[in-house]
Chains A and B, each alone.
Chain A
Amino acid sequence: MSLDQPNPSFTGGAVGKSVPKVDSLEKVQGRAEYIADLYRPGMLHGAILASPYPHARILGYDLTEALAAPGVVAIITGDDVGEGRMGAFIKDEHAIAKGKVLYVGEPVAAVAARTETEARAACRLIRVDYEELPAILSPEEGLEEGAAILHEKLADYIKVFDAGSEGNLCSRTELSEGNVDGAWAGCDVIVEGEYTTQPQAHVSMEPCGALAEVDANGRVTLWSANQSVFRVQANVCESLSLPMSKLRSLTPRVGAGFGNKMEPHIQPITVALAMKAQRPVKLILTREEDFEMVRARHPFKVRMKTGAKKDGTLVARHCEVLVDCGAFADDSPGVMGYALLMCGGPYRFPHMKAEGRLVYTNKLRFGAFRGFGNPQVLFAGEQQIDQIAERIGMDPFAIRRKNMVREGDRWFVGPEIASNGLAGCLDAVEQAAKLPRADGSARNFGLAVTAHISGLLGTGAIVKMLEDGTISLNTGATDIGQGSDTVLAQICAEELKLPFDQVAVASPDTDGSPYNWGTTASRVTYTTGRAVKAAAKKVVDQAMEQAAEMLDCDVDELELREGGRIGKVGSNSDVTFAQISGRAHWAVGGPLVGSETLVFDQPTHDPKRAIALGLPFPRIGVFSFAALGVDVDIDEVSGQVSVREAWSAADVGRAINPKLVEVQLHGGFVQGLGYSLFEEMVWDGPRLANPSLMDYKVPTMRDVPDAIHTYIIEDPDPTGPFGAKGAGEIGLNAAPGALANAVAQATGFRHNHLPLTGERVLNGMLAAEKT
């Protein structure tokens, strides 16, 4: 085939096209396999006995009755798991409660039996002797003099950063730039307030689960619902004191994560059960257990003060947060540190100070959840920007435009902002939202802006050209449904100028895949995409070398042509990838394999401009930006807020797959809507009172406006693959701030507490009437 007759199957560049997700068909046909859908020969079913106490010493176990129960094969308790401890920042967590229980719902023992019913029945026959200890149910209680201590050996735990841990203080972070204390005198307007945010449950539709099997050599194969097969491997091996080479971690399709499946859930317990039973064991949590046992979004207490000049120039912000960690550190030090890094919002503040304390309490661990601390601080910060604008009579768009960070600026404490499409985001929202409602009535409009990073830690890619010139791509990045398999294949295909469908994506496997820290921090498109593009380029380079020999010319005389061909510039003669790869496999040079690994390496902190103590992320990432506008209706009788229309604009650098970006913005906004208006995990004393979908409401189709408008703004990042940056979290961040601003406009009352329930809003309306 000559150049004049292009390969008919080539559909043009893959990047920028909304190709359907590669896993869509199997999902609509009901053929996708999730963890609960896996079965192995001789497989047993696991079940967990949960702690009834928030804080108690375990004095002993009586397993006699349970072991004699029908179908029971093995039982594990804290006695079976050794001294190993896991944790992303602070290694404070055993595989299962050992010595003490630290929250109601914590796994205390686990049973493997022939059926799930038998395993659950046997759990009820396990007797555990406890000595109850005083429970710490709030960060304030935890910091009190003489408070009961959750982790008596905290000082000895391994910590991966300077956490400053002491007593129940898990970690503390302090960041400052400029001179906040001296800046207030120069401000014409100062607003301050105290804010609280509630715990939110992830509610991935798929509850957590795992399946483990031990082979003849004692090596473990572990399938689980996860956001990183490598974090699963590390956590299981650390907590069970196994060499990492003794455990292979795999993933079936994952029924979403949102942060819930990034760090361990029940994988270590499942592995311990399988090792003891010497048979495959599958353990799938019920929805109630998934609520009580895994993790949730942190409740924050935020004290914030912001000062500005009367022309609207922002001068200073001080933010203090007190964060409920729950019983284990998990990702909490990272969440708090990140929240503090982001608490200024995307604005130029010459003077900023951010301080936080993270305190252990006897509740389930709080951890990563889409937004990672950003929504909590922006709920305060974006309201204060509006309050300043109100006080000086400035438009909410104008004050944000006047103060927003620009390309080339430094973010708080130092990272460089290499691309910034925030102005475009604000323009898009303003143009659309200034049009009146269809019925001519006035809008109850609220606006908020946000930035988010994508980056962080290690990633890799292996691109193999198969004998026939088609491609196998292996990255180790778990696609949790958001579409990273598709996006990474698009990046790979684009670099190789191949049709998208000629790239097959391997399922993550710690044996065969290069390291990937995880599908988290809005990072896969950006970091893994970089590795994929670079690895694909290496394959192109190798193919070029081959082609030069085959066409008897120099490499620099060659060009890569669409559809898997390399030819001489200015000539019709070319060779196909199939010819090249066949030669490489069977005759000369060896098979074509390109690999690339990288770790995001741009420093977060510039010591010349800022002070940073207890910063959990020394190298953080590149910045995406977004603006969100909402128009709400408020029921005058119930106070219930409903969203009439929303405008979500995000600068994602380059949309590799615009449809998938759009769905991230829709899905993020709706999860943020639930968080802002009604979702709340409620504790009745030490016990979670609403661990079920009957009692914990998430948005349904009836709660969501039809008119959610999305705008993709593309300000390419110089380091991103084809300019791309992250899109996963930024659609959620601004929801609480924008909705609170809209409610304030509609009712004249400003709310400092999430969620904005009907009751709260109604009380606010009544209070506003009185004044």
Chain B
Amino acid sequence: MAKKMLHSLTLNGEEVEVASAPEATLLETLREDLRVLSSKRGCNQGVCGACTVIIDGKPVRSCLTLTARCEGHDVRTVEGLSDDRILNALQKHMVEAGGVQCGFCTGGMLMSARNLLAEVPRPSRDAVKSALSGNICRCTGYRTIVDAVCGAAEELAQ
């Protein structure tokens, strides 16, 4: 194991410094070193989307991202977006539409959905399904999640 190195990045608006091994992923660093736990290890392979975070405004798989590559970048998770207008609308509609079941995929799903609505304010249902197709949910059958994203988009457009 190679020696740990210090990295500084912006996490949820705060400057943090963390010592991590060169092979450490951002997911490991977030969870094991920084105890930011909303990003989940569902597959550790970049397939399930449960670890999705936002780096410099773009959704990224934290399990495929090396912590060393986050030096100087802006990392956001659900915890750090509590004042975000788009996320708040999504959260509200996820609760109301029944888009939350076991909740393990929810954090990552919200990150992808937030990015979509930031880029496309009024997406079609089909566009929602394309944008979120990299986030697996095994519980809901997806319908209520699509409902929630479309509902949030509508509310935000008003």
Chain A interface residues (CB < 8 Å from chain B):
18, 20-21, 23-34, 36-37, 39, 115-117, 202-207, 253-256, 258, 284, 286-287, 480-483, 659-660, 662-663, 665-671, 692-694, 698-702, 704, 706, 708
Rounded to whole angstroms, the CA-CA distance of A32 and B79 in the bound complex is 11
B1, B129, B140, B143: which has the most chain A beta carbons within 10 Å?
B143
On whether the beta carbons of B144 and A28 are closer than 8 Å, the reply is no
What mask results when residues 131 to 151 of chain B are scored 1 for a CB within 8 Å of chain A, else 0? 011111111111111100000
On whether the beta carbons of A704 and B38 are closer than 8 Å, the reply is no
On whether the beta carbons of B91 and A206 are closer than 8 Å, the reply is no
B38, B48, B100, B102: which has the most chain A beta carbons within 10 Å?
B102
Within 8 A of A (CB), among B103-151: 103-107, 110, 125, 128-130, 132-146
Rounded to whole angstroms, the CA-CA distance of A86 and B70 in the bound complex is 47
On whether the beta carbons of A255 and B98 are closer than 8 Å, the reply is no
On whether the beta carbons of A663 and B140 are closer than 8 Å, the reply is yes
On whether the beta carbons of B142 and A480 are closer than 8 Å, the reply is no
A28 and B91 in contact (CB under 8 A), knowing A666-B144, A667-B139, A701-B132? yes
Rounded to whole angstroms, the CA-CA distance of A37 and B31 in the bound complex is 8
State which of B41, B104, B107 has its C-beta within 8 Å of the C-beta of A284: B41
The residue of chain A having its C-beta at the shortest distance from the C-beta of B144 within the complex is A663
Determine how close the nearest CB of chain A comes to the CB of B47; give it in whole angstroms: 4
Determine how close the nearest CB of chain A comes to the CB of B57; give it in whole angstroms: 19
Determine how close the nearest CB of chain B comes to the CB of A228; give it in whole angstroms: 16
State which of A254, A669, A698 has its C-beta within 8 Å of the C-beta of B136: A698
7 residue pairs, one from A and one from B, having the closest CB atoms: A30-B38, A481-B102, A27-B103, A666-B141, A255-B104, A30-B78, A670-B141
State which of A33, A39, A207, A482 has its C-beta within 8 Å of the C-beta of B101: A482
Rounded to whole angstroms, the CA-CA distance of A26 and B78 in the bound complex is 11
Q: What are 5 A-B interface contacts by the 8 Å CB criterion?
A: A23-B103, A31-B79, A115-B32, A204-B138, A663-B101
Determine how close the nearest CB of chain B comes to the CB of A80; give it in whole angstroms: 27
Determine how close the nearest CB of chain A comes to the CB of B100; give it in whole angstroms: 5
Q: Give chain A residues whose Cβ lies under 8 Å from the Cβ of B141.
A: 663, 665-671, 704, 708
On whether the beta carbons of A37 and B37 are closer than 8 Å, the reply is yes
What mask results when residues 65 to 81 of chain B are scored 1 for a CB within 8 Å of chain A, else 0? 00000000000011100
State which of B38, B44, B82, B103 has its C-beta within 8 Å of the C-beta of A253: B103
State which of A37, A662, A670 has its C-beta within 8 Å of the C-beta of B98: A662
State which of A25, A202, A207, A698 has its C-beta within 8 Å of the C-beta of B41: A207
Q: Give chain B residues whose Cβ lies under 8 Å from the Cβ of A30.
A: 37-38, 77-79, 106-107
On whether the beta carbons of A24 and B94 are closer than 8 Å, the reply is yes
On whether the beta carbons of B79 and A29 are closer than 8 Å, the reply is yes
Q: Give chain A residues whose Cβ lies under 8 Å from the Cβ of B82.
A: 29
State which of B37, B44, B95, B138 has its C-beta within 8 Å of the C-beta of A256: B138
Q: Give chain B residues whose Cβ lies under 8 Å from the Cβ of A481.
A: 101-104, 139
Within 8 A of A (CB), among B29-85: 31-32, 35, 37-38, 40-45, 47-48, 50, 77-79, 82
Determine how close the nearest CB of chain B comes to the CB of A173; give it in whole angstroms: 31
Rounded to whole angstroms, the CA-CA distance of A692 and B42 in the bound complex is 11
The residue of chain A having its C-beta at the shortest distance from the C-beta of B94 within the complex is A28
Rounded to whole angstroms, the CA-CA distance of A286 and B103 in the bound complex is 19
Q: Give chain A residues whose Cβ lies under 8 Å from the Cβ of B138.
A: 202-205, 256, 258, 667, 671, 698
On whether the beta carbons of A32 and B132 are closer than 8 Å, the reply is no
Given A660-B98, A701-B129; 11 other pairs, CB 8 A cutoff: A20-B95, A20-B96, A24-B94, A24-B103, A28-B110, A39-B35, A206-B42, A483-B101, A667-B138, A692-B47, A704-B143
Rounded to whole angstroms, the CA-CA distance of A480 and B136 in the bound complex is 17
Which secondary structure dominates where chain A touches chain B? loop
Q: Give chain B residues whose Cβ lies under 8 Å from the Cβ of A701.
A: 128-130, 132-133, 135, 142, 145-146
On whether the beta carbons of A256 and B101 are closer than 8 Å, the reply is yes
Q: Give chain B residues whose Cβ lies under 8 Å from the Cβ of A29.
A: 78-79, 82, 91
Rounded to whole angstroms, the CA-CA distance of A670 and B79 in the bound complex is 30
Q: Give chain B residues whose Cβ lies under 8 Å from the Cβ of A482.
A: 101, 139
Query: How many of chain B's residues touch chain A, expressed as a range?
Result: 35 or more
On whether the beta carbons of A287 and B43 are closer than 8 Å, the reply is yes
Rounded to whole angstroms, the CA-CA distance of A484 and B45 in the bound complex is 32
On whether the beta carbons of B48 and A706 are closer than 8 Å, the reply is no
Rounded to whole angstroms, the CA-CA distance of A521 and B79 in the bound complex is 36
Rounded to whole angstroms, the CA-CA distance of A706 and B126 in the bound complex is 9
State which of A255, A693, A698, A706 has its C-beta within 8 Å of the C-beta of B103: A255
Rounded to whole angstroms, the CA-CA distance of A693 and B143 in the bound complex is 22
Q: Give chain B residues whose Cβ lies under 8 Å from the Cβ of A671.
A: 138, 141
A256, A670, A701: which has the most chain B beta carbons within 10 Å?
A701
State which of B44, B98, B142 has its C-beta within 8 Å of the C-beta of A287: B44
On whether the beta carbons of B101 and A693 are closer than 8 Å, the reply is no
Q: Give chain B residues whose Cβ lies under 8 Å from the Cβ of A704.
A: 129, 141-143
Rounded to whole angstroms, the CA-CA distance of A698 and B43 in the bound complex is 13
Q: Give chain A residues whose Cβ lies under 8 Å from the Cβ of B1.
A: 117
State which of A21, A116, A203, A706 has its C-beta within 8 Å of the C-beta of B125: A706
The residue of chain B having its C-beta at the shortest distance from the C-beta of A257 within the complex is B102
Q: Give chain A residues whose Cβ lies under 8 Å from the Cβ of B47.
A: 692-694
On whether the beta carbons of A27 and B79 are closer than 8 Å, the reply is no
On whether the beta carbons of A34 and B104 are closer than 8 Å, the reply is yes
Rounded to whole angstroms, the CA-CA distance of A700 and B146 in the bound complex is 12
Rounded to whole angstroms, the CA-CA distance of A117 and B25 in the bound complex is 12
The residue of chain A having its C-beta at the shortest distance from the C-beta of B50 within the complex is A205
Rounded to whole angstroms, the CA-CA distance of A34 and B50 in the bound complex is 13
On whether the beta carbons of A702 and B133 are closer than 8 Å, the reply is yes
Determine how close the nearest CB of chain A comes to the CB of B13; give it in whole angstroms: 15
A205 and B98 in contact (CB under 8 A), knowing A33-B37, A666-B143? no
Rounded to whole angstroms, the CA-CA distance of A481 and B139 in the bound complex is 8
On whether the beta carbons of A659 and B41 are closer than 8 Å, the reply is no
A706 and B136 in contact (CB under 8 A), knowing A29-B79, A30-B79? no
State which of A26, A205, A700 has its C-beta within 8 Å of the C-beta of B134: A700
Determine how close the nearest CB of chain A comes to the CB of B96; give it in whole angstroms: 6
On whether the beta carbons of A28 and B100 are closer than 8 Å, the reply is yes
Rounded to whole angstroms, the CA-CA distance of A693 and B47 in the bound complex is 6
On whether the beta carbons of B101 and A694 are closer than 8 Å, the reply is no
Determine how close the nearest CB of chain A comes to the CB of B49; give it in whole angstroms: 9
The residue of chain B having its C-beta at the shortest distance from the C-beta of A206 within the complex is B104
Q: Give chain A residues whose Cβ lies under 8 Å from the Cβ of B103.
A: 23-24, 26-28, 32, 253, 255, 481
On whether the beta carbons of A666 and B95 are closer than 8 Å, the reply is no
A204, A660, A667, A699: which has the most chain B beta carbons within 10 Å?
A667
Determine how close the nearest CB of chain A comes to the CB of B59; give it in whole angstroms: 15
Determine how close the nearest CB of chain B comes to the CB of A407; give it in whole angstroms: 30
On whether the beta carbons of A36 and B40 are closer than 8 Å, the reply is yes
The residue of chain A having its C-beta at the shortest distance from the C-beta of B39 within the complex is A30
On whether the beta carbons of A287 and B45 are closer than 8 Å, the reply is yes
Rounded to whole angstroms, the CA-CA distance of A24 and B101 in the bound complex is 8
Q: Give chain A residues whose Cβ lies under 8 Å from the Cβ of B31.
A: 36
On whether the beta carbons of B102 and A24 are closer than 8 Å, the reply is no
Q: Give chain A residues whose Cβ lies under 8 Å from the Cβ of B32.
A: 115-116
Rounded to whole angstroms, the CA-CA distance of A665 and B82 in the bound complex is 32
Q: Give chain A residues whose Cβ lies under 8 Å from the Cβ of B35.
A: 39
On whether the beta carbons of B94 and A693 are closer than 8 Å, the reply is no
Rounded to whole angstroms, the CA-CA distance of A586 and B138 in the bound complex is 49
Q: Give chain B residues whose Cβ lies under 8 Å from the Cβ of A205.
A: 40, 42, 48, 50, 102, 104-105, 136-139
State which of A28, A284, A670 has its C-beta within 8 Å of the C-beta of B95: A28
On whether the beta carbons of A693 and B43 are closer than 8 Å, the reply is yes
On whether the beta carbons of B104 and A18 are closer than 8 Å, the reply is no
Rounded to whole angstroms, the CA-CA distance of A18 and B48 in the bound complex is 29
Rounded to whole angstroms, the CA-CA distance of A33 and B1 in the bound complex is 30
Q: Give chain A residues whose Cβ lies under 8 Å from the Cβ of B140.
A: 663, 666-667
Rounded to whole angstroms, the CA-CA distance of A663 and B100 in the bound complex is 10
On whether the beta carbons of B44 and A480 are closer than 8 Å, the reply is no
Q: Give chain B residues whose Cβ lies under 8 Å from the Cβ of A18.
A: 98
Rounded to whole angstroms, the CA-CA distance of A31 and B143 in the bound complex is 24
Q: Give chain B residues whose Cβ lies under 8 Å from the Cβ of A256.
A: 101-102, 104, 138-139
Q: Give chain A residues whose Cβ lies under 8 Å from the Cβ of B143.
A: 666, 704, 706, 708
On whether the beta carbons of B146 and A693 are closer than 8 Å, the reply is no
Q: Give chain B residues whose Cβ lies under 8 Å from the Cβ of A254.
A: 102
